[in-house]
Chain A
Amino acid sequence: AQRVTQPEKLLSVFKGAPVELKCNYSYSGSPELFWYVQYSRQRLQLLLRHISRESIKGFTADLNKGETSFHLKKPFAQEEDSAMYYCALSLSTSGSRLTFGEGTQLTVNP
């Protein structure tokens, strides 16, 4: 069965510092990987997906199939980045459930 692991429940950095939120997955096939974000008092929303190879709000994530990782990175954290971040895995692009990690609460201090 597929599994997503986010080893850090809490992560605190200072504004302007680089930030990396770790995500590892276990699945023998080729999954689709996502990062979702939940800002305070807002609904869970998609941040980025590995297929798009995009940068959203300065965040990027590279899928490393050898290490089965999909770490989220940003070179210069901002206070507004403080939120709960979830890594998620889907088994197909055509519609299947997401398997989520337990999330990492990121706090960016001034």
Chain B
Amino acid sequence: GAGVSQSPSNKVTEKGKDVELRCDPISGHTALYWYRQRLGQGLEFLIYFQGNSAPDKSGLPSDRFSAERTGESVSTLTIQRTQQEDSAVYLCASSTPRGGRNTIYFGEGSWLTVV
């Protein structure tokens, strides 16, 4: 596609339910990133994929959070037993080094509200 695509764009869920957020990166991009942005705060790194492996998952806040990527393409971020503090925009980004540079392109985000 033309850009990074995320779904759903908006999700309201009840506390305790599980949610899955999907990211379709730009075709051919080998690196994929997940970030979280709480209201009024900056972007918080969650996890980074290079291909299908995750060399850096240091930002995942708890074991309720997990992510996978298959086929060097789509990635899914799963939040189990959601809590109200999980309410945030979840941003996905992708990149590939070109000419020694690595430009990261962001999706529009998935707005998650836990009630």
Contact = CB atoms under 8 A, between A and B. Distances in A.
Real binding pair: yes
B97 A95 contact: yes
28 contacts: A43-B3, A43-B106, A43-B107, A43-B108, A43-B109, A44-B91, A46-B103, A46-B105, A49-B101, A49-B103, A90-B102, A92-B102, A93-B97, A95-B30, A95-B50, A95-B96, A95-B102, A96-B48, A96-B56, A96-B102, A97-B45, A97-B48, A97-B56, A98-B33, A98-B45, A98-B104, A100-B42, A103-B42
A62 interface: no
A5 B1 CA distance: 34
A43 to B, nearest CB: 5
Contacts of A44: 43, 91, 106
B41 interface: yes
Interface residues of B, number: 27
Interface size class of A (residues with CB under 8 A): 20 to 34
Interface majority SS on B: helix, strand, loop or mixed?
strand
B71 interface: no
Interface string A32-74: 0000000000011110010100000000000000000000000
A102 B101 contact: no
Top 3 nearest A-B pairs (CB, nearest first) are A102-B42, A100-B43, A44-B106
B31 interface: yes
Contact of A95 (B45, B59, B95, B106): B95
A25 interface: no
Interface string A71-95: 0000000000000001000101111
Given A96-B48, A97-B48, 7 more contacts: A45-B105, A45-B106, A49-B101, A94-B102, A95-B50, A96-B56, A98-B33
